[in-house]
Amino acid sequence: MLDNKTIVVGVTGGIAAYKACDVVSKFKKLGANIHVIMTESACEFVRPMSFQTLSNNFVISDMFEEPKTWEVEHIELAKKADAFLIVPATANFIGKLASGIADDMLTTTVMATKSPVIIAPAMNTNMYENKIVQDNINKLEKYGYNFIEPTSGLLACGDIGKGKLEDVDIIVEYVDNFFNNSYKAGNKSDFFGKKIIITAGPTIESIDPVRYITNRSSGKMGYAIAEEAVKRGAIVTLVSGKTNLKVPEGIEKFIGIESAEDLYNTLVEEFDKNDVVIQSAAVADYRPKSYSDKKIKKSDDDLVIKLSRNKDVAYELGKIKGDKILVGFAAETNDVLENASRKIKKKNLDFIVANDLTKAGAGFNSDTNIVKIIDSKGNIFEYPKLLKKEVGNLILDKIKEVIDNRNK
Ligand code: PMT
C-alpha cells in the first residue's frame, strides 16, 4: 500500500506519456498523494488537465509560468517527495539529468531532491541501445538513480525491439515494493532508498578441482544485517560466498562469489552504485600460489602448498572511499581492541565491529554474536550477547548516526 506516500510523477514527451495517466490513477487507488510535473513536450502528447483530474492536484508544466513561486514550489516538492517516478523517460531527459542540465521544472526538481528517483525509460530501440544513452543510464545508476528497464515489443515507430515502456502494473508494483520493503517489519524506514552493499560468508580458494581452502563463516551475520537493512527500507546488494542460507526476501541484488579475487572484482564493480558498504565476509588473506587443473595425486611424501597474498578488499575500497560509509568486521582471538583499532585506520573505515571468537555465542555459525563497535575517533561501544539480527540493527543504528552527523 502507498498510504500517505507523496510521489512526484515526472512525465516527459514520448508516445507512452498516455500510460502515465494509468500509473497515476493506480497510485491514487493505492492511497498515494500524487504531484505531476510535465515537460513542455509531454504536454503535446497528453493534456495537463488529464493528470490534474486523476491526481487531484495542480499539474506543474512550465517553471516560468509563475515567476514568483516556481523556485519555492520546486524546492518544496523536492523536499516533500517520498519518491520520484519519471514515466516515460525520454533519451533527452536521461541525457540532461546525466549531464547535470536543469533547464525546466522537471530536471530542476529531480536534481534538488534527496528522495529516491525511479526512471522508466521508453524510446525507439536504436536510441535505447545507443552507446551514449547506455553510458548515461550507467552513469545515473552509479549515482544511485533506479531504472525500470523497458521491455521488447512492437514500438510506436513500427520497429520491434527493446524500448517499450515496462507494463504499467509492473511499474506500479515496483514502486509499491520499493516502499513496502521498509514497512514489512512495521517499524522504521530510516534507510529508505539508501543503497547498501553487504558482504557475507566465507571465500573459497581452490587448490585443485577437488580441494579448496576456506574458513568457518556460515554467512549468518551478513545475511542477518541484509534482512534488517531491507526491513528498514534499504536497497540491498548481498555479495555472498557459499552458504546454506536462503537469500533473504526483498534483496535487490544477490551476487554469489567464491574467491577473494571474485569478491574484489564484484565490489569494485558495485562500489559506485552504493552509499554504504558493510564487510562481514570472512575473506581469505592467502590463496594457493598455483592452481592444479588436475586432481593432485597423493604420495608418501608430505605435500607443501605455497600460498600467495590476496588483495585486502577492505583496504582497497578504503583508498577510493569518497563520501561512502565503510564498515568492517574484525574476527579476533586475542588483543581484540588493539587489532580492531589498527584495522579501522589501515582500511579507512567509519567503524569496525569486533567479535572475539574465543567467546561462546560469538563469531562463526552461531545465531548470536558478542561485539564491540569501535569508531574512527576511538570511541568503544560494548554490547552483551545478542541475536545476529539485533547486532545487524545496532550496526544500522550506528550507520544512521554517521549519516546524521555528516548532514549536520
Ligand atoms: O558468517 P558467520 O558464521 O555468521 O560469522 C560471522 C563472522 C565471524 C564471519 C563475522 O562476524 C566477521 O567477523 N567477519 C569478518 C571476518 C574477517 O575476515 O575478519 P578480518 O579481521 O580478517 O578482516 C577485517 C576486515 O577486512 C573484514 O571486514 C574483512 O571482510 C576484510 N578483509 C579481510 C581480508 C581480506 N583479504 N580482505 C578484506 O576485505
**212: part of which helix (H) or strand (E)?**
strand 212-213
- Strands 351-356, 371-375: pairing is antiparallel
- Among protein residues, the one whose CA lies closest to atom 17 of ligand 1: 282
User: What is the three-class DSSP state of 272?
Assistant: helix
How far away, in angstroms, is 373 Cα from ligand 1 center? Answer: 14
Q: Is 255 exposed, middle or buried (0-12, 13-18, 19+ CB in 10 A)?
A: middle
The domain ranges of the chain are 6-180, 195-407
Provide the pLDDT for residue 158. Answer: 79
Give catalytic status of residue 43 as yes or no. Answer: no
Q: Which pLDDT score is estimated for 65?
A: 59
Secondary structure of residue 154 in the 3-state scheme: strand
Write down the residue that cell numbers 581452490 correspond to.
206
Catalytic residue among 1, 157, 170, 320: 157
The finding on whether 281 has its CB within 6 A of some atom of ligand 1 is yes
The minimum-distance atom of ligand 1 relative to the CA of 362 is 8
CB-based contact 259:287 (threshold 8 Å): yes
pLDDT of the residue at 67: 47
Q: Is 341 in the pocket of ligand 1 (CB under 6 A)?
A: no
- The DSSP element (H or E) to which 105 belongs, if any, is helix 105-112
Decide: 10 in ligand 1 pocket, CB within 6 A: no
To which CATH superfamily is domain 195-407 assigned? CoaB-like (3.40.50.10300)
Per the rule left: phi > 0, alpha: psi between -120 and 50, beta: everything else, 335 is: left
Among residues 181, 176, 172, 175, which one has the least CA distance to residue 233? 181
Question: What is the model's pLDDT at position 70?
Answer: 52
User: Quick one: 91 exposed, middle or buried, by C-beta within 10 A (0-12, 13-18, 19+)?
Assistant: buried
DSSP SS3 for 326: strand
Ligand 1 pocket residue status of 276, Cβ below 6 Å: no
The DSSP 8-state label assigned to residue 216 in this structure reads: S
Whether the link from the prior residue into 88 is cis, omega within 30° of 0, is yes
Q: Which residues contact 246 (CB under 8 A, 6 or more apart)?
A: none
Nearest ligand 1 atom to the CA of 315 is: 39
- Any ligand 1 atom below 6 A from CB of 98: no
C-alpha span between 198 and 266 (Å, rounded): 12
- Alpha carbon 318 to its chain centroid, in Å, reads 19
Write down how long the chain is.
408
Grid coordinates belonging to 368: 548470536
Ligand 1 touching residue 287 (CB < 6 A) = no
CATH topology of 6-180 equal to that of 195-407?
yes
The class level of CATH for 6-180 reads: alpha beta
Give me ligand 1 centre to Cα 235, in Å: 22
User: 277 has which bridge partners?
Assistant: 197, 326
Q: What is the block-wise mean pLDDT of the chain (408 residues), using blocks of 10 residues?
A: 91 96 97 95 95 94 57 78 96 98 93 92 94 95 86 80 91 84 51 90 98 97 95 91 95 96 97 94 97 95 96 97 96 93 96 95 96 95 95 95 83
180 closest CA partner among 114, 82, 107: 82
Q: Which of ligand 1's atoms lies nearest the C-alpha of 220?
A: 4
**Cα dihedral 238, 241, 242, 246 in deg (nearest 10):** -10
Binding residues for CTP, as ranges, are 285, 295, 329, 343, 347
What is the whole-number distance in angstroms between the Cα of residue 340 and the centre of ligand 1?
Answer: 11
Where is the binding site, in residues?
285, 295, 329, 343, 347
Q: What are phi and psi of 187, to 5 degrees?
A: -125, -130
